[in-house]
Amino acid sequence: EPEVTQTPSHQVTQMGQEVILRCVPISNHLYFYWYRQILGQKVEFLVSFYNNEISEKSEIFDDQFSVERPDGSNFTLKIRSTKLEDSAMYFCATTFNLAGSTDTQYFGPGTRLTVL
Amino acid sequence: AQKVTQAQTEISVVEKEDVTLDCVYETRDTTYYLFWYKQPPSGELVFLIRRNSFDEQNEISGRYSWNFQKSTSSFNFTITASQVVDSAVYFCALSEAGRAAGNKLTFGGGTRVLVKP
């Protein structure tokens, strides 16, 4: 069964450094999402991406964050200058979503980001 | 704005007991979808079920069953004859339907289920 994959599984970085989290979506999926889960808390929506542009973003997704699909397969989340409070598990999710439908979002295994 | 409330933060049961997880949601949309995801100790999010707002039939899948009641805005989840492998955090989630911008999920706070042998 096709899966969403994410790399790395764990990233440790110093405050102020840039990090790039990578996701490989399921191949025929059209919508891509990033979510964040601070340890012990709920999963929060960050951004959705469709047709090579951001379709929706949350208040959390400020100017420090960016997303792109550089090569038609990988879907990346970049944090320009990490802060301590960016420490969290970051999940990528993808879905097919034919127009007018709401398909299930399938999640990758997550990247645990630790900012020191 | 959408909101999902899981009032139970943690439930502890002994193996073979049944456990019911409550989920109450708020939305102004007339068409929406509800989901349950399981997060085992390994951390991944595993899809369990999707239900649209027009389908109020209860669903059973093995030891899992779901009770959707639109009148009370609830979508409760029952694990029958629980097993140690059911120990996990369970999240209820809500999304709007059919938006061109995509359908973000709004999650509840999760309920941690601990099944003791």
Q: Do residues A94 and A4 lie in contact, with contact meaning Cβ atoms separated by under 8 Å?
A: yes
* Among candidates B37, B44, B98 on the partner chain, residue whose Cβ is nearest the Cβ of A109: B44
Sort strands A111-115 and A10-13 into parallel, antiparallel or unpaired: parallel
**Residues in A touching B33 (Cβ below 8 Å):** 102
Residues in CB range of A78: below 8 A, 6 or more apart: A18, A19, A20, A21, A65, A66, A67, A68
Task: Name the closest residue on chain B to residue A52, using Cα atoms.
Answer: B101
* Among candidates B33, B44, B109 on the partner chain, residue whose Cβ is nearest the Cβ of A102: B33
The whole-angstrom distance between A96's CA and the closest CA on chain B is: 10
Q: What is the pLDDT of residues B5-28, one digit of tens each?
A: 999 999 999 999 999 999 999 999
Q: What is the pLDDT of residues B45-100, one digit of tens each?
A: 999 998 989 888 888 889 999 999 999 999 999 999 999 999 999 999 999 876 76
More confident residue, A1 or A116: A116
Q: What is the pLDDT of residues A10-50, one digit of tens each?
A: 999 999 999 999 999 988 888 899 999 999 899 999 999 98
